[in-house]
Amino acid sequence: MTSECFICNVSGEKKRLFNAITDEGVQEVCEQCALDEHLPLVRRPTTFQLKQAERPQTVYERLSKQAGIDPVQHRKTKKHQREKDRN
């Protein structure tokens, strides 16, 4: 059994179907119908995003993210300032 677009009933073999949020719940729709009906599409996470989610963040990383600061760049800046202050 092949899936088909919830709106125009085109076969999943002819067009690529996406999961979209409709009034009836999550349904498979073709890209054209999703654009025409302004339906939000459900995006699956990438492999990279899944691996990032598995890696635990340090408190420093979480606080930096909350403050909108890049933790790697911030550490370099702080280290440079400390070295400058010592001299």
pLDDT at residue 27, rounded to an integer:
94
Say if residue 35 is in the same domain as residue 56: no
The total of structural domains in the chain comes to 2
pLDDT one-digit tens code per residue, 24-74: 999 999 999 999 999 999 988 899 989 888 888 899 888 998 999 998 888
DSSP secondary structure of 19-87: EEEETTEEEEEEHHHHHHTTPPBPPPPPHHHHHHHHSPPPHHHHHHHHHT--HHHHHHHHHHHHHHHH-
pLDDT at residue 74, rounded to an integer:
86
Say if residue 26 is in the same domain as residue 56: no
pLDDT at residue 43, rounded to an integer:
87
Is pLDDT at 80 greater than 70 in this prediction? yes
pLDDT at residue 85, rounded to an integer:
84
Domain that holds residue 66: 47-86
What is this structure's pTM?
A: 0.52
